[in-house]
């Protein structure tokens, strides 16, 4: 499909097309000399987007588009529908994701038009994104903090993407914030006092996991997560296949001493899992798992003094007993003793005032914001 500006839009139809789609951030040079970009693992992206292997296709459908100028790929986008979203929220909303484009409004417009047209054919009235493919994966364009290297599981995008989206008529839907709890030496006495107060609930015990236990607790974590986060903005319960894929990646970077479980008389009622900062390692790997890069990647990860609290949940009936506060405090205390000096608590949707207030108590800095956009289909 030829558009104005000499841009040709083609759907992905073959393995070669899919490879072109995945490799586009490299082949276009969008992130050349961008020190905040974290290259995704190419093999993981190929599997995620492949209809035969990607866990998303159990609950939704997607179309992938490439933009060409001449024979050169210059952009990409997905349009997708999520059937779980339709069941829980509405039938009006479709999504775009995996957006990449050179800094050219004609290219971006052609990509957005292609996604919008496909979604209209699915009966949708609103387009929202970027979500690739859910709010627990890659969401939003950075509107602040784009010059800072994101931590594990977070993404970086070209600084001009919000400009391209807004020029096409997209408006803010919701913001997701990233918070960084820095060195705590200045207020350790305060934390100790607060912790003593919070730990008075004698029925709750806290324990950490051994590395071999991480995979064994996956189903338990999934069940608590799906209940604990049910009221979060845009939440959709993760399927077992989605959670297995998440845990497969998680176990490689989890810090066992910072995988904390809360129990009430032997029953798990909450968890808080913190991982090492893998972003420096991913920059070394540059998308490819070549064995000769592993040692250098491992060293790069070990040099990082940041960690990320990647997932946490407490059963609703146990809320208000400061269990989440104890998770934060234990993570900070133990992490500091292990030589880490900053903990990334991300991502927190702007409507989750309780968590934001708790992070403000810990004097956390909001160092990065991702914005999800939306507009009516045209």
**pLDDT 10s per residue in the chain (378 long)?**
656 678 999 999 999 999 999 999 999 999 999 999 999 999 999 999 999 998 899 999 999 999 999 999 999 999 999 999 999 999 999 999 999 999 999 999 999 999 999 999 999 999 999 998 888 888 999 999 999 999 998 999 999 999 999 999 999 999 999 999 876 555 566 566 666 666 666 688 899 988 777 777 888 888 898 998 888 888 888 888 777 777 777 778 999 999 999 999 888 999 999 999 999 999 999 999 888 899 999 999 999 999 999 889 999 999 888 888 888 888 888 888 899 988 898 899 999 988 898 888 778 899 999 999 999 998
Q: Are residues 137 and 192 in the same domain?
A: no
Q: What is the distance between the alpha carbons of residues 50 and 57, in angstroms, rounded to a whole number?
A: 9
Please identify, among 130, 156, 177, the residue that sits at the C-terminal boundary of a domain: 177
Bridge-partner residues for 69, per DSSP?
72
Q: What is the distance between the alpha carbons of residues 98 and 231, in angstroms, rounded to a whole number?
A: 26
Say if 25 falls within a structural domain: yes
Range of the domain at 354: 180-368
Q: What is the distance between the alpha carbons of residues 34 and 258, in angstroms, rounded to a whole number?
A: 31
Residue 293 and residue 285 in contact, taking contact as beta carbons nearer than 8 Å: yes
Burial class (CB in 10 A: 0-12, 13-18, 19+), 378: exposed
Please identify, among 148, 177, 206, the residue that sits at the C-terminal boundary of a domain: 177
Q: What is the distance between the alpha carbons of residues 266 and 272, in angstroms, rounded to a whole number?
A: 17
Q: Are residues 169 and 185 in the same domain?
A: no
Nearest to 129 by CA among 120, 119, 143, 139: 139
The CATH number assigned to the domain holding 210 equals 3.40.630.30
Bridge-based pairing of strands 93-101 and 126-129 is parallel
Q: Are residues 63 and 114 in the same domain?
A: yes
Q: What is the distance between the alpha carbons of residues 101 and 180, in angstroms, rounded to a whole number?
A: 30
pTM (predicted TM-score): 0.92
């Amino acid at each position: 499909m030829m558009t104005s500006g000499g841009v040709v839009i083609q759907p992905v139809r073959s393995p070669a097309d899919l490879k072109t789609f995945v490799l586009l951030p490299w082949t276009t040079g969008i992130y050349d000399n961008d020190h905040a970009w974290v290259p995704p693992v190419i093999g993981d992206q190929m599997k995620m987007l492949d209809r035969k292997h990607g866990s998303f296709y159990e609950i939704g459908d997607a179309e992938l588009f490439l933009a060409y100028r001449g024979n050169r790929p210059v952009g990409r986008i997905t349009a997708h529908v999520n059937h779980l979203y339709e069941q829980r929220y509405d039938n009006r909303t479709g999504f775009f994701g995996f957006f990449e484009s050179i800094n050219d409004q004609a290219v971006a417009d052609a990509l957005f038009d292609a996604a919008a047209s496909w979604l209209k054919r699915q009966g949708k009235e609103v387009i929202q994104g970027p979500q690739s493919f859910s709010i627990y994966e890659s969401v939003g364009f950075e509107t602040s903090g784009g010059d800072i290297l994101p931590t594990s599981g977070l993404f970086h995008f070209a600084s001009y993407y919000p400009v391209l989206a807004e020029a096409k008529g997209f408006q803010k839907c919701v913001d997701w914030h990233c918070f960084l709890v820095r060195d705590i030496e200045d207020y350790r006495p305060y934390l100790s006092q607060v912790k003593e107060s919070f730990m008075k609930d004698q029925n709750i015990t806290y324990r950490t996991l051994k590395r071999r236990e991480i995979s064994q607790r996956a189903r338990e974590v999934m069940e608590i997560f799906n209940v604990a986060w049910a009221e979060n903005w845009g939440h959709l319960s993760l399927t077992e296949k989605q959670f297995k894929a998440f845990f497969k990646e998680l176990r490689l970077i989890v810090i066992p001493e910072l995988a904390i479980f809360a129990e009430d008389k032997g029953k798990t009622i909450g968890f808080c899992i913190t991982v090492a900062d893998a972003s420096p390692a991913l920059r070394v790997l540059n998308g490819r798992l070549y064995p000769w890069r592993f040692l250098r990647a491992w060293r790069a990860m070990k040099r990082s003094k940041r960690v990320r609290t990647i997932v946490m949940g407490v059963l609703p009936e146990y809320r208000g007993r400061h269990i989440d506060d104890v998770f934060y405090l234990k993570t900070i205390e133990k992490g500091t003793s292990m030589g880490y000096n900053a903990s990334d608590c991300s991502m927190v949707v702007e409507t989750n005032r309780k968590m934001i207030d708790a992070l403000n108590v810990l004097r956390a800095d909001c160092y990065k914001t991702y914005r999800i956009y939306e507009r009516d289909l045209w």
